[in-house]
C-alpha cells in the first residue's frame, strides 16, 4: 500500500501544472508474472476501460483462454486490477482437413509447426489469411475457413481446418468505362496478365494499378471495379489517354571554336505511342551538335509478338563524327515483363564503324586508334521502375542495367598500308556494362529533388576511339557540348532541386559531377563538373524548357563565354 501511494505522489509531481482536467489511472498486474505489470494514465474513464479490455484480449489471443479479472479496486480516480491469466493452452495437432494439399503447399505453411506451440489466435489468423490469399489467387475469391472437430485434452487443443471453397471463378474480358482511352482491351488483358478463361486472381487485380502506372500513354482515373456473373469476373477500368506523343524541336546556341561567334545547333524528335491502341511505339531522333557531326536514331516496338508475351523492339542508330568516322548500331531486344515493376530483355547488337579521310591517317605512319570494325554482341537488360509517373515523376526510383559481350573484328582498310595493323589484335572479345539509376524525392507539394547516378565501362583487347561512350550535353553532363567527352569508363551524378509552381511546371537548379576515363586521350582522367538553373513550363500544347549551364573540365575553363543555353519546346499530342 505504501509503495502504491509513493508511485502516485511521483506521478502527480510529474504532471504539468497547466493541466487542469482530471486524469484517470490504471494500475494492473498479473501475480507471479512481473513482465505483465503497468501503470497507465488516461484523460477519461472510458479510454481506461477500453485499454483494460485490450489487455485482457491480448492474453486471450496469445493462448490464455481462461484469463479473467481477479480483483478490481478503485482509489478515487485510480483503478487497481489484478489479472488471473490461467493456464497457457497449446496445440495438440492442427490437421489440414479438406484443404487441398496444393493450396497448403503454395501458401508455404507447415501445419506440423503448430504442434506444441501456444494456441495463439494471432497465429491462427495469419494462417487463415495466408490460405485465403492463395485461394483468392487461384480462382476462389469467395472461399472461407474455420476449425472443426475440435478436441480438448487438458490444456491442449486439436482441430482440423475446414474450407468452403465457393464457386470457381475465371476472368472474363476487361471493359473500359467511358470513352477516355482508345486502348484495346485485348492488349490490356495481356499487359495485366488477365486473360479471359484464366483463374481469377486478386493479386492480378491489385497489381493492375502498378502495371498501368508503368504505361506512359494511359492513366487510371478511377478505382478498378469487379463484377461477378455466371462464375466469371469482369474487370472494369476507367482510363484516360495521356498527351504523350512528342514533336520536339530544340535550338542550341554554342560558342564557336573561333571565339566571339555563336554556333547554332539543333535536334528533332518525333515519338508516337500506343498506335491503334495496341501498345505499338515508333520514334525518330536527330541531333546536330557541330557543323560536321550529327546522329539519327530510329526505333520501333511491337508488343506481344505472334500472340505471345514477348515484346520485340528494334532500333538503328547512325553517328557521323566530323570527318573522322561513321558508326552504325542495329539493336534487337526481346523483352518480357517479369512483374509490374520489372522488365527483362535479351539483346543482340550488330555494330559497325567505317573511317573517313583515310589519307590523313596514312601521313602519320602510326595506327590512329580509329579503324573499320564489326562488333556482334549478345547480352541482357534489366529495367526496374517504381516511379509514380514515367514522364513527369515526382517520387519513386528507376534503375537500369545493361550488359553484353561478343566478338570484335577489325577490318583492314584498303586505303591504308598493311604495316598500320602490325601488332594489332584483329579479333578480340569485347564487353560493356552500363548502369543508370535515378531517385525522385518528394519533399512537399511545391518542392522535390531529382538525383541520378550513371556509370559505364567498355573493355576489350582491340578497343578503338570510335567504340567509346559519348557524354556531355542536356541528357548527361550539362554545361558542355553534345557528345563532348569520349570515355571507356565513366561515372557521373546529377542533383536537381525543383520548385513546382504548377502540376508539371517548375524552376530548377542543378549540379552535375563526373569522373571520366579515356585511355586514348592525353588527359586520361577527367573530373568535369557543371552547374546552372532553368525552367520547365507546361503550356496548352506541350512543354517549354530553358536551361543555362556552365561547366569545367581539363579542356574547358569555367567561364561565362563557355556557358551553354538550351531553349526547347516539346509539343505533346
Same fold, 22-84 and 304-531+548-558: no
Q: Which helix (H) or strand (E) holds 158?
A: strand 156-164
At 75-113, the pLDDT tens digits run: 888 888 888 888 889 999 999 999 999 999 988 888 888
Give me the pLDDT at residue 553, please: 92
At 381-415, the pLDDT tens digits run: 999 999 988 888 999 999 999 999 999 999 988 87
Mean confidence (pLDDT) of the chain? 87
Fold entry, domain 304-531+548-558 = Porin (2.40.160)
Q: Which residues contact 299 (CB under 8 A, 6 or more apart)?
A: 281, 282, 283, 284, 313, 314, 315
What is the percent of the chain with per-residue pLDDT over 90, rounded to a whole number?
47
Distance CA 207, CA 338 (A): 12
Give me the pLDDT at residue 259, please: 57
Give the 3-state secondary structure of residue 369: coil
At 46-75, the pLDDT tens digits run: 998 999 998 888 888 888 888 888 888 888
Distance CA 324, CA 319 (A): 11
At 113-134, the pLDDT tens digits run: 888 889 888 888 889 999 999 9
Distance CA 115, CA 159 (A): 11
Distance CA 548, CA 564 (A): 6
Query: How is the chain split into domains, by residue range?
Result: 22-84, 90-164, 176-241, 304-531+548-558
Q: Which of 3.40.1160.10, 3.10.20.10, 3.40.50.800, 3.40.190.80 would CATH assign to domain 22-84?
A: 3.10.20.10
Q: Where are the beta strands (DSSP E) in 501-541?
A: 506-517, 525-526, 529-538
What CATH architecture is 90-164? Answer: Roll (3.10)
Amino acid at each position: 500500500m505504501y509503495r502504491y501511494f509513493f508511485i502516485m505522489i511521483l506521478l502527480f509531481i510529474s504532471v504539468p501544472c497547466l493541466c487542469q482536467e482530471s486524469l484517470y489511472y490504471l494500475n494492473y498486474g498479473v501475480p507471479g508474472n512481473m513482465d505483465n505489470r503497468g501503470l497507465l494514465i488516461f484523460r477519461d474513464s472510458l479510454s481506461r476501460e477500453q485499454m483494460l479490455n485490450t489487455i485482457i484480449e491480448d492474453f486471450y489471443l496469445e493462448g490464455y483462454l481462461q484469463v479473467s479479472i481477479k480483483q478490481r479496486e478503485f482509489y478515487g480516480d485510480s483503478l487497481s486490477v489484478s489479472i488471473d491469466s490461467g493456464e497457457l493452452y497449446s496445440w495438440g495437432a492442427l490437421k489440414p482437413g479438406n484443404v487441398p494439399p496444393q493450396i497448403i503447399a503454395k501458401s508455404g505453411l507447415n501445419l506440423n509447426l503448430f504442434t506444441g506451440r501456444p494456441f495463439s489466435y494471432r497465429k491462427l489468423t495469419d494462417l487463415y489469411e495466408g490460405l485465403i490469399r492463395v485461394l483468392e489467387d487461384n480462382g476462389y475469391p469467395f472461399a472461407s475457413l474455420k476449425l472443426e472437430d475440435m478436441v480438448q485434452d487438458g490444456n491442449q487443443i486439436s482441430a482440423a481446418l475446414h474450407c468452403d471453397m465457393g464457386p470457381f471463378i475465371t476472368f472474363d474480358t476487361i471493359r473500359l468505362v467511358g470513352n477516355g482511352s482508345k486502348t484495346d482491351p485485348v492488349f490490356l488483358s495481356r499487359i495485366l496478365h488477365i486473360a479471359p478463361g484464366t483463374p481469377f486472381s486478386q493479386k492480378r487485380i491489385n497489381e493492375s494499378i502498378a502495371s498501368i502506372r508503368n504505361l506512359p500513354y494511359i492513366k487510371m482515373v478511377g478505382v478498378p471495379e469487379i463484377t461477378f456473373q455466371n462464375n466469371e469476373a469482369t474487370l472494369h477500368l476507367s482510363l484516360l489517354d495521356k498527351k504523350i506523343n512528342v514533336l520536339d524541336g530544340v535550338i542550341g546556341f554554342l560558342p564557336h571554336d573561333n571565339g566571339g561567334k555563336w554556333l547554332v545547333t539543333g535536334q528533332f524528335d518525333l515519338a508516337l505511342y500506343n498506335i491503334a491502341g495496341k501498345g505499338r511505339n515508333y520514334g525518330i531522333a536527330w541531333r546536330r551538335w557541330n557543323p560536321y557531326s550529327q546522329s539519327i536514331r530510329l526505333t520501333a516496338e511491337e508488343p506481344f509478338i505472334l500472340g505471345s508475351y514477348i515484346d520485340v523492339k528494334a532500333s538503328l542508330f547512325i553517328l557521323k563524327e566530323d570527318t573522322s568516322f561513321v558508326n552504325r548500331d542495329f539493336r534487337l531486344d526481346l523483352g518480357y515483363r517479369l512483374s509490374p515493376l520489372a522488365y527483362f530483355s535479351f539483346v543482340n547488337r550488330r555494330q559497325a564503324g567505317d573511317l573517313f579521310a583515310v589519307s590523313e591517317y596514312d601521313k602519320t605512319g602510326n595506327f590512329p586508334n580509329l579503324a573499320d570494325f564489326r562488333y556482334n554482341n549478345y547480352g541482357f537488360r534489366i529495367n526496374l521502375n517504381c516511379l509514380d509517373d514515367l514522364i513527369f515523376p515526382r517520387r519513386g526510383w528507376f534503375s537500369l542495367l545493361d550488359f553484353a559481350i561478343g566478338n570484335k573484328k577489325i577490318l583492314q582498310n584498303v586505303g591504308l598500308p598493311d604495316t598500320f595493323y602490325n601488332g594489332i589484335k584483329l579479333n578480340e572479345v569485347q564487353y560493356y556494362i552500363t548502369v543508370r539509376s535515378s531517385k525522385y524525392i518528394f519533399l512537399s507539394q511545391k518542392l522535390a529533388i531529382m538525383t541520378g547516378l550513371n556509370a559505364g565501362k567498355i573493355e576489350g583487347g582491340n578497343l578503338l576511339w570510335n567504340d567509346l561512350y559519348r557524354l556531355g550535353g542536356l541528357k548527361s553532363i550539362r554545361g558542355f557540348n553534345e557528345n563532348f567527352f569520349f570515355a571507356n569508363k565513366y561515372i557521373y551524378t546529377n542533383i536537381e532541386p525543383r520548385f513546382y509552381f504548377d502540376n508539371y511546371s517548375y524552376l530548377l537548379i542543378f549540379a552535375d559531377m563526373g569522373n571520366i576515363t579515356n585511355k586514348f586521350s592525353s588527359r586520361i582522367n577527367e573530373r568535369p563538373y557543371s552547374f546552372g538553373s532553368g525552367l520547365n513550363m507546361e503550356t496548352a500544347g506541350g512543354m517549354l524548357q530553358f536551361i543555362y549551364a556552365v561547366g569545367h573540365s581539363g579542356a574547358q575553363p569555367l567561364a561565362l563565354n563557355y556557358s551553354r543555353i538550351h531553349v526547347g519546346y516539346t509539343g505533346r499530342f
